[in-house]
């Protein structure tokens, strides 16, 4: 019987992780996407409960106090968190779960699943970092999507440099230069990991 995966995908803002993961979910329709909670305002095309669960700061803090998040972090001035129960419930049911989270969140998941930990989460964990081909391409993507002003773009580019410095912490790194190639590489990661023993999981791979 194949193991369910807890697939964590992180990337700098503008690297294309949302588009890439949407394509992955088309190829693996039984995979469950974890819907993060956030305190940031919804964008024009976002729907509450589909893209994010939008909370105010008080509600977010209440969920932290209740232990409702697997991980939470401050990113670009807003709070983000991964609800615990839907993830654990899906894994118990044998479903693969996709977490599209920031680098801080991925690190918190690693700490949660330290070698002394046990249970379904640790057995399932796989993490992937999506990288832009270069900083010029990342800048172009951030400008082209038209969501941020010049100052915010510069802040995101600076944060991207800090995030990419920690890319070696991830089991897999995929350069998103061509979307079709990146989708194929991410699909290969999923297929490989569903066949891989736990003892082989922690070998880094650059794709």
Residue pLDDT, tens place only, 164-192: 999 999 999 999 999 999 999 999 999 99
- Tell whether 88 is covered by a domain: no
CB atoms within 10 A of CB 104: 17
Reply yes or no on whether the pLDDT at 7 is more than 80.
Answer: yes
Contact criterion met (CB below 8 Å) for 19 and 132: no
The answer to the question of residue 118 being in a domain is yes
* 177: containing domain: 6-34+95-206
What pTM was estimated for this model as a whole?
Answer: 0.85
Task: Answer whether residue 55 is part of any domain.
Answer: no
Q: What number is the average pLDDT over the span 138-162?
A: 90
Give the pLDDT score at 199: 44
CATH classification of the domain holding 11: 3.40.50.300
Query: Residue 186 has which token pair?
Result: 């991410």
Q: What is the DSSP letter of 169?
A: G
| 45 lies in some domain | no
pLDDT of residue 203: 47
What's the pLDDT score for residue 1? 52
| 95 within 8 A of 111, measured Cβ to Cβ | no
- pLDDT tens-digit series, residues 18-73: 999 999 999 999 999 999 999 999 988 899 999 999 999 999 999 999 999 999 99
When divided into structural domains, the chain yields a total of: 1
Q: What is the pLDDT of residues 60-74, one digit of tens each?
A: 999 999 999 999 999
pLDDT by residue (tens digit) across 86-144?
999 999 998 999 999 999 999 999 888 765 554 556 667 899 999 999 999 999 999 99
In a domain, 80, yes or no: no
| Pairwise CA distance, residues 47 & 35, whole Å | 11
Helices 135-145 and 150-164, axial angle in degrees (round to 10): 140
């Amino acid at each position: 019987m194949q193991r369910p995966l807890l697939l964590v995908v992180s990337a700098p803002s503008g690297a294309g992780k949302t588009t890439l993961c949407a394509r992955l979910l088309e190829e693996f329709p039984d995979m469950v996407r974890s819907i993060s909670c956030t305190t940031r305002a919804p964008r024009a095309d976002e729907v509450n409960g589909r893209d994010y669960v939008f909370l105010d700061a008080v509600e977010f803090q209440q969920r932290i106090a209740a232990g409702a998040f697997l991980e939470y972090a401050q990113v670009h001035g807003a709070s983000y968190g991964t609800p615990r129960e839907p993830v654990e419930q899906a894994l118990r049911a044998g479903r693969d779960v996709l977490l599209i989270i920031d680098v801080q969140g991925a690190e918190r998941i690693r700490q949660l699943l330290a070698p002394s930990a046990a249970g379904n989460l640790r057995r399932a964990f796989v993490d992937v970092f999506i990288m832009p081909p270069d900083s010029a391409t990342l800048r172009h993507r951030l400008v082209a999507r038209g969501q941020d002003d010049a100052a915010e773009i510069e802040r995101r580019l600076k944060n991207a440099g800090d995030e990419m410095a920690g890319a070696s912490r991830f089991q897999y790194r995929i350069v998103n230069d061509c979307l079709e190639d990146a989708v194929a590489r991410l699909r290969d990661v999923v297929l490989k990991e569903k066949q891989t023993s736990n003892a082989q999981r922690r070998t880094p791979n650059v794709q």
